[in-house]
Structure 1
Amino acid sequence: MTLFERWLSLWVALAIGAGLLLGNLMPGLFGALASLEVASVNLPVAVLIWAMVYPMMVGVDFGSLRHIGDKPKGLIVTLIVNWLVKPFTMAALGVLFFNHVFAGFIPPDDAQAYIAGVILLGAAPCTAMVFVWSNLTRGDPNYTLVQVSVNDVIMVFAFAPIVAFLLGVTDIAVPWGTLILSVGLYVVIPLLAGYITRERLVRDGGEDAVDAFRSRVQPFSMVGLLATVVLLFGFQGEVILDRPMVIAMIAVPLLIQSYGIFFLTYGAAKAWNIPFNIAAPCAMIGTSNFFELAVAVAISLFGLGSGAALATVVGVLVEVPVMLSLVAFANATRHWFPEGEGAK
């Protein structure tokens, strides 16, 4: 692991603190950054998210899709959880808590906005950070790559319809044009750019050239992640400090969803006798969110100062400590699973 990965929780915590501090000390600067929009897309956020996502997309090997049938169990579990369970449980938890459990503490309009935010989180399975979680559990990197590649292909076609369906079910207006534009900007274009880059690198120098290139651009991804966190918490800094109970209320369904999805996936993998080096990343992919996409789409659809954007930012706040706790749990229960390459 790199120094960044080893101390990820610390760097994110420092970035959150810096964002809150700077957002309250320099509201004019963050207001100016917030105003840099084209077609409902905030340009600073877009640049930083591309910086985060592009290096990961270069690592997506579409050739690995040839092997999706070699060891189908882990992939089947991941796909069922990601696309048939997770988006719907997240929407249900959002409605339960914001429309009912916390109804006396949250205005109805804010409740709908928070529901929209958690729906965006639940419909976007992890794409980048899952490689970190897989590495921390000593997962099978090739199988993780297959899972991520398949999820990315599905996301191109399924994210917008699932989000639109769930927003419609919860009576939230769906700006289809902006939603499709967001998927194009934050999924399709980086994926296409990563594919073109990878093909050229493989042609010129093979997989070693890909690894060397990713090593060179990886710092941009790290800077992009931390700068995005600073920016997001700077935009929402005043709200977060003025309304800490709202942050806690948003965190509740996110925490229940994260731990619930993990144990559902982990338990299914154990019941199906999937080896640990596939079972652990399988559960991590289902639990973690592509929060970069969720944040960007929330800002595009509802605006920087919206409750939906705030909910996705709380997702960033919750994700890192939750995932690190689940990595520790998975490593402590490694003996529950068979070892080796025998997944079928």
Structure 2
Amino acid sequence: MSPRSVVTSPAPTVAKQLSFLDRYLPVWILAAMALGLALGRLVPGLNSALDAVKIGSVSLPIALGLLVMMYPVLAKVRYDETRRITADRRLMGLSLVLNWVLGPALMFALAWVFLPDLPAYRTGLIIVGLARCIAMVLIWNDLACGDREAAAVLVAINSVFQVLAFSALGWFYLVVLPGWLGLPTASADFSFWAIFVSVLVFLGIPLAAGFLTRYVGEKTKGRRWYESVLLPKLGPWALVGLLFTIVLLFALQGETITSRPFDVARIAVPLVAYFAVMWTGSLFASRAAGLDYAHATTVAFTAAGNNFELAIAVAIGTFGVTSGQALAGVVGPLIEVPVLVALVYVSLWLRPRLFPAPAATQVADPTASGPYRG
């Protein structure tokens, strides 16, 4: 058997590595969208019922859905690995630049190029660009044989950094930078503090809960029990929360979506361009920086993915549940899932071509990162 066949043989089984729920995630999202549209048409007074009880400016049912979908993801992070991974200056420097400088700037540019006449959707995409991935990137990275611990640490750093810097970056990209460039700024509804509160509530609370869950779980039962028994029980709730939120959002957005379906298609175009450009550029930049395949892949997927859960929460909290900004965030997962699954296959195909290694190393390394590790 050739080294290339050893390296690329996992590719046909990528889909099989996903759970039943994750494998058909685009189907569930489409079904949730259809159900939401039907409820919006068939249930009179739904808008008033959802707005009856609020947390800040977000209705209580939607707020609960947002918190439920964030918590399980943050409970998966191995927070104790932070120090070891952060010692790699090349990895950390490259990841921080890609995630917090180039990624938001690229989404800003694409939003203005493709949506110059749709300010609400444009603003929603810019918010998506600021919300760095902390969720399904762990799945994509695992399937592509990336470094599992490095991905978890980058997710943890992105989580903390978003709490600290998201509001300032939102103010810069929505108000300051457009002003410098002579472009229209975000509407008067934009508020630095509204974004700050949204991030603090919808990221800060589940981040603290995820950290405490892992700390207490490992302290009392050990890491093996925590990751093999508790996490599999918590994991599906992230998808439940996402689908529940999408149903409610589309129930409230039904009239807008059915009257302007081409707007949804226009939102999808810059998203596809963003994923392709960001992932490809990050992989080649990592290779040029001297990172090995496992770490280069991790950097590429963490840079290309986005935290749509947070983007949806911020858009709802700042602009309202029926806003175009919220719709832009909701369309995101529908596009991200199939595109990044395809990039898993591309990553495995490129592995022997961009990161060649001696045959003995490729065949006999039992500690290689990824889902195929024993």
Quickly say closer, same or farther: Cα 1:27–1:311, change in 2 above 3 A: farther
Deviation of residue 91 (structure 1)? 1.4
Deviation of residue 33 (structure 1)? 2.0
Cα-to-partner distance string for 1:150-205 (whole Å, 9 max, x where unaligned): 21121121111101111113311431222111011111111111112221112112
Matched residue, 1:288: 305
Matched residue, 1:144: 151
User: Distance in 1 between the 2:196 and 2:47 partners?
Assistant: 27
- The answer to whether the Cα contact below 8 Å between 1:31 and 1:235 also exists between their aligned partners in 2 is no
Quickly say closer, same or farther: Cα 1:165–1:218, change in 2 above 3 A: same
Matched residue, 2:126: 119
- The answer to whether the Cα contact below 8 Å between 2:167 and 2:193 also exists between their aligned partners in 1 is no
Aligned counterparts, 1:62-101, within 5 A? 62-99=79-116
Matched residue, 2:181: none
Cα-to-partner distance string for 1:5-57 (whole Å, 9 max, x where unaligned): 22223322322332233333335335522554232122222211211111121
User: Distance in 1 between the 2:124 and 2:66 partners?
Assistant: 17
Matched residue, 2:76: 59
Matched residue, 1:21: 38
Cα-to-partner distance string for 1:240-272 (whole Å, 9 max, x where unaligned): 121111112222222222211111101112223
User: Distance in 1 between the 2:96 and 2:196 partners?
Assistant: 22
- The answer to whether the Cα contact below 8 Å between 1:273 and 1:338 also exists between their aligned partners in 2 is no
Matched residue, 2:175: 168
Quickly say closer, same or farther: Cα 1:65–1:28, change in 2 above 3 A: same
- The answer to whether the Cα contact below 8 Å between 1:274 and 1:338 also exists between their aligned partners in 2 is no
User: Distance in 2 between the 1:96 and 1:292 partners?
Assistant: 24
User: Distance in 1 between the 2:237 and 2:47 partners?
Assistant: 22
Matched residue, 1:4: 21
What amino acid does structure 1 have at the position aligned with 2:198? S
Deviation of residue 112 (structure 1)? 2.3
- The answer to whether the Cα contact below 8 Å between 1:275 and 1:342 also exists between their aligned partners in 2 is no
Q: What TM-score comes out, normalization by structure 2 length?
A: 0.82
Among candidates 270, 274, 285, match of residue 291 of structure 2? 274
Among candidates 120, 135, 146, match of residue 142 of structure 2? 135
What amino acid does structure 2 have at the position aligned with 1:176? F
- The answer to whether the Cα contact below 8 Å between 1:59 and 1:210 also exists between their aligned partners in 2 is no
Aligned counterparts, 1:1-344, within 5 A? 1-26=18-43, 28-99=45-116, 103=117, 111-169=118-176, 170=178, 171-172=185-186, 173=188, 174-211=190-227, 212-335=229-352, 336-338=354-356
Runs of 4+ in 1 over 4 A off after TM superposition: 338-343
Deviation of residue 302 (structure 1)? 0.5
- The answer to whether the Cα contact below 8 Å between 1:48 and 1:227 also exists between their aligned partners in 2 is yes
What amino acid does structure 2 have at the position aligned with 1:57? L
User: Distance in 2 between the 1:252 and 1:34 partners?
Assistant: 32
Aligned-partner SS, 1:68? helix
Deviation of residue 338 (structure 1)? 4.4
Cα-to-partner distance string for 1:101-149 (whole Å, 9 max, x where unaligned): xx3xxxxxxx222222111100011101111111221222111111111
- The answer to whether the Cα contact below 8 Å between 1:235 and 1:305 also exists between their aligned partners in 2 is yes
- The answer to whether the Cα contact below 8 Å between 2:58 and 2:321 also exists between their aligned partners in 1 is no
Quickly say closer, same or farther: Cα 1:19–1:181, change in 2 above 3 A: same
- The answer to whether the Cα contact below 8 Å between 2:58 and 2:316 also exists between their aligned partners in 1 is yes
Matched residue, 2:372: none
Percentage identity across aligned positions?
37
- The answer to whether the Cα contact below 8 Å between 2:55 and 2:63 also exists between their aligned partners in 1 is no
User: Distance in 1 between the 2:23 and 2:263 partners?
Assistant: 31
Structure of higher CA gyration radius: 2
User: Distance in 2 between the 1:231 and 1:271 partners?
Assistant: 45
User: Distance in 2 between the 1:213 and 1:237 partners?
Assistant: 37
User: Distance in 1 between the 2:344 and 2:244 partners?
Assistant: 25
Moved more, 24-33 or 178-187: 24-33
Q: Which runs of 5+ in 1 are unaligned?
A: 104-110
Alignment: residue pair count: 333
User: Distance in 2 between the 1:271 and 1:126 partners?
Assistant: 23
Q: What TM-score comes out, normalization by structure 1 length?
A: 0.89
Quickly say closer, same or farther: Cα 1:315–1:34, change in 2 above 3 A: farther
Aligned-partner SS, 1:289? coil
Moved more, 86-95 or 65-74: 65-74
What amino acid does structure 1 have at the position aligned with 2:355? F
User: Distance in 1 between the 2:255 and 2:290 partners?
Assistant: 49
Moved more, 23-32 or 225-234: 23-32
